């Protein structure tokens, strides 16, 4: 395994980078097997085992290497660095980014994900989802929860927002999108109403219009959004890339860029952020040292070789004795684990060069 210092993270955050630049960066970065790209509504992060990203017009705001990059990713996975502090959706986004990686980078991602999950479990508290972005948007606009909400989008985010609008007291919550069946399923799960996309221009006056779809709106949907925005008292744009209003920009609009730059965490949010960050950092240091420190590869290889020999000998003995292989398999597996556990733990710590050298010699041994 390469040393941890060879892995680096290039980071752009919506708080300081324009949304249009964020989208351009995310589109220009093409991760290979030695790369991982995290692209969410408020961040673009590119992780690489030794290579910096190329093909972008501006350098990253932040570059972290080795232990600092690993610690940062663990904090991100915990939800401590999210717009909605403590939100749970980011963990799956980090996991998806590292799914296709291998080797050192996969070990790096797996360790950070495990630390983020541990932080969520140990800190506990109210499980938040990305639907709580509605609270931040309303606070940025300085308005109370609206009586009527219309959400354009049929994915998980739209469902989160519909449920949150209900929790905040909105009496009428509607969901719409190009696929009415998906809109209906999304609405039913949130006890909301599904409306056809053709009905979007007839959005009730003084409603809150929320854009929560992925990608770029089709022409027909765009026209409906523009007309609905003219009747709405507030437009909340949670899309990335943000909606291109051209000359139709509504009077009162809150988008992700505004939210990222103006939102002020509550004291409760700051406390949750500190707890998640502290636990995530402690967890990643412990997990990395235990699983991936110098000598971990040797320990894993030792177990693999011993297990191969054990399985072969169990099969040969069972055949010679005409015995059931299952009892032999269970007993020998437990015995081997007990015999080699302490030796493997010493290997993982990597503090005995002579032992590492002897183990490497052992690994070259091939039994008859």
User: What percent of the chain is modeled with pLDDT above 90?
Assistant: 51
Q: What confidence score (pLDDT) does residue 195 get?
A: 96
The whole-angstrom separation of Cα 248 and Cα 232 is 13
**Angle, CA 22 vertex, CA 19 and CA 26 arms, to 5°:** 145
Confidence class of residue 2 from pLDDT cuts 50, 70 and 90? very low
Mean pLDDT along residues 331-353? 72
The whole-angstrom separation of Cα 351 and Cα 190 is 56
Assigned CATH for 4-128+268-291: 3.30.460.30
Does residue 202 register a pLDDT over 50? yes
The whole-angstrom separation of Cα 312 and Cα 307 is 9
Does residue 215 register a pLDDT over 60? yes
User: What percent of the chain is modeled with pLDDT above 70?
Assistant: 86
Q: What confidence score (pLDDT) does residue 50 get?
A: 65
* DSSP-derived pairing of the beta strands 7-13 and 43-49: antiparallel
Higher pLDDT pick, 138 / 34: 138
Does residue 56 register a pLDDT over 60? yes
Summarised one tens digit per residue, pLDDT across range 43-54 is 999 998 866 666
The strand pairing partners of 43, in sequence order, are 13
Higher pLDDT pick, 177 / 286: 177
- Element (DSSP H or E) covering residue 319: helix 296-321
Confidence class of residue 306 from pLDDT cuts 50, 70 and 90? confident
Tally of CB atoms within 10 A around 335: 11
Does residue 10 register a pLDDT over 50? yes
Mean pLDDT along residues 296-305? 68
The whole-angstrom separation of Cα 126 and Cα 101 is 32
Q: What confidence score (pLDDT) does residue 350 get?
A: 58
Does residue 198 register a pLDDT over 60? yes
Per domain, the residue ranges of the chain are: 4-128+268-291, 130-262, 296-363
Summarised one tens digit per residue, pLDDT across range 158-195 is 999 999 999 999 999 999 999 999 999 999 999 999 99
Q: What confidence score (pLDDT) does residue 53 get?
A: 66
Lookup: tokens for 211:
């854009």
CATH architecture of 130-262: 3-Layer(aba) Sandwich (3.40)
Summarised one tens digit per residue, pLDDT across range 219-244 is 889 999 999 999 999 999 999 989 98
Task: Walk across the sheet containing 193-194 and list its strands.
Answer: 193-194, 172-176, 148-152, 208-211, 234-237, 253-255
Mean pLDDT along residues 237-253? 89
> How high does pLDDT run on average in the chain?
86
DSSP string, 52-96: ---S-SS--SEEEETHHHHHHHHHHHHTTTSSSTTBSHHHHHHHH
Asked whether the bond before 365 is cis by omega within 30 degrees of 0, the reply is no
Q: What confidence score (pLDDT) does residue 329 get?
A: 82
Nearest to 218 by CA among 194, 187, 239, 195: 239
Q: What confidence score (pLDDT) does residue 104 get?
A: 82
Contact 271, 80 (CB under 8 A): no
Lookup: tokens for 335:
């015995």
* DSSP-derived pairing of the beta strands 208-211 and 193-194: unpaired
In terms of Cβ atoms closer than 10 Å to its own Cβ (0-12, 13-18, 19+), residue 59 is: exposed
Mean pLDDT along residues 192-221? 92
Summarised one tens digit per residue, pLDDT across range 119-170 is 999 998 666 888 999 999 999 999 999 999 999 999 999 999 999 999 999 9
- Element (DSSP H or E) covering residue 262: helix 256-262
Mean pLDDT along residues 336-342? 76
Contact 212, 206 (CB under 8 A): no
Q: What confidence score (pLDDT) does residue 220 get?
A: 82
Confidence class of residue 112 from pLDDT cuts 50, 70 and 90? very high
The whole-angstrom separation of Cα 116 and Cα 119 is 5
């Amino acid at each position: 395994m390469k040393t941890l210092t060879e892995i680096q993270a290039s980071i752009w955050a919506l708080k300081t980078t324009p949304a249009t630049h964020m989208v351009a960066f995310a589109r220009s970065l093409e991760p290979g097997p030695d790369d991982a790209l995290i692209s969410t509504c408020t961040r673009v992060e590119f992780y690489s085992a030794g290579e910096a990203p190329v093909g972008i017009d501006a350098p990253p705001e932040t570059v972290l290497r080795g232990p600092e990059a690993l610690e940062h990713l663990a904090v991100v996975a915990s939800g401590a660095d999210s717009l909605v502090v403590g939100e749970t959706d980011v963990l799956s986004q980090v996991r998806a980014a590292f799914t296709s990686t291998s080797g050192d980078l996969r070990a790096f991602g797996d360790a950070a994900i495990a630390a983020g999950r541990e932080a969520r479990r140990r800190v506990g508290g109210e499980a938040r989802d990305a639907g709580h972005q509605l609270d931040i948007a309303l606070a940025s606009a300085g308005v109370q929860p609206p009586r009527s909400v219309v959400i354009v989008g049929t994915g998980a985010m739209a469902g989160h927002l519909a449920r949150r609008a209900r929790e905040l007291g909105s009496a009428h919550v509607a969901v719409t999108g190009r696929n009415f069946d998906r809109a209906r399923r999304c609405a039913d799960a949130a006890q909301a109403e599904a409306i056809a996309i053709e009905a979007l221009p007839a959005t009730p006056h003084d409603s809150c219009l929320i854009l929560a779809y992925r990608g770029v709106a089709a022409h027909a949907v765009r026209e409906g959004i523009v007309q609905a925005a003219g009747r709405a008292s507030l437009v909340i744009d949670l899309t990335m890339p943000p909606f291109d209003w051209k000359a139709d920009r509504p009077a009162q609009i809150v988008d992700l860029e505004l939210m990222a730059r103006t939102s002020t965490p509550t004291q409760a949010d700051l406390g949750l952020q500190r707890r998640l960050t502290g636990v995530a950092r402690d967890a990643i240091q412990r997990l990395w040292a235990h699983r991936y420190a110098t000598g971990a590869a040797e320990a894993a290889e030792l177990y693999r070789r011993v297990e191969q020999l054990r399985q072969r000998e169990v099969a040969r003995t069972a055949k010679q004795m005409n015995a059931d292989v299952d009892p032999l398999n269970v007993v020998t597996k437990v015995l081997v684990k007990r015999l080699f556990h302490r030796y493997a733990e010493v290997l993982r710590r990597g503090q005995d060069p002579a032992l590492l050298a002897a183990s490497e010699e052992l690994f070259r041994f091939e039994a008859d």
